[in-house]
Amino acid sequence: MTDQAIVSQIIHALSQYLKRDANSITEQHHLRDDLGLDSMAVIELLYKIEETFNLQIPDEDLAGLTTVGSVARYVESRVAPGEAPKSPPAKRAPGKAKAAKKKR
């Protein structure tokens, strides 16, 4: 079970970015397919999340971050257990698949 405080902060960030009611966003929503975020928008969202949770998210971790829930679980794995958000940066998570797609 994902920490609901983390989930709600991520949903809050999304609702602010998308100018959309937070109650209409769920943990199951896919960032691209359901919420319409392109790869650049995902990067902007993660930029906000890095600030909120005092994290640095390495490029190689981006590929797994596709749904609201997967972002929440990722953040949970990175903040030290028992600590509220704004904790010091956790140790880097093990590398996942490949980096986000890009660009020019």
Partner 1 sequence: MPTRAVITGLGVISPIGIGVSEFWKAALAGRSGISAIESFDPFPLDGYRSKVAGRITNFSPEQYLPAQQAERIDRYAQFALVAANEALADAELVMAREQPHRVGVIMGAGMGGMVMGEREITQLYLNQKPHRVHPNFIPVITLNSASGIVAMATGAKGPNLTISTACSSSAHALGQALHCIRTSQADVVIVVGADASITPLVFAGFCSLRALSSRYNDAPERASRPFDQGRDGFVMGEGAGALIVESLAHAKKRKARIYAELAGYAATSEAYHMVIPREDGEEVATTMKLALQHAGVAPGDVDYINAHATSTTIGDAVEAKAVRLLFKTRADKIAVNATKSLVGHTLGAAGAIGAVATSMAIHTGHIHPTANYESPDPACRLAGISRTVQERKIRTALLNAFGFGSNNAAVVLAKYRP
Instruction: Output phi, psi for 67, to 5 deg.
Output: -120, 165
Stretch that binds partner 1, among 8-16, 57-65, 67-75, 80-88 (CB under 8 A): 57-65
DSSP single-letter state for residue 30: B
* Contact pick of 40, 51, 80, 84 for partner 1 (by CB under 8 A): 40
* Structure-token match 């909120």, residue found: 52
| Sequence-distant contacts of 73-82: CB under 8 A, at least 24 apart | 73/2, 75/6, 75/10, 75/49, 76/2, 76/3, 76/6, 78/53, 79/6, 79/53, 79/55
Binding status of residue 60 toward partner 1 by CB under 8 A: yes
* Contact pick of 25, 62, 65, 72 for partner 1 (by CB under 8 A): 62
Closer CB to partner 1, 19 or 104, in the complex: 104
* Contact pick of 18, 29, 43, 64 for partner 1 (by CB under 8 A): 43
Binding status of residue 89 toward partner 1 by CB under 8 A: no
| Binding residues for partner 1 (CB under 8 A) | 38-40, 43, 47, 56, 58-60, 62, 98-104
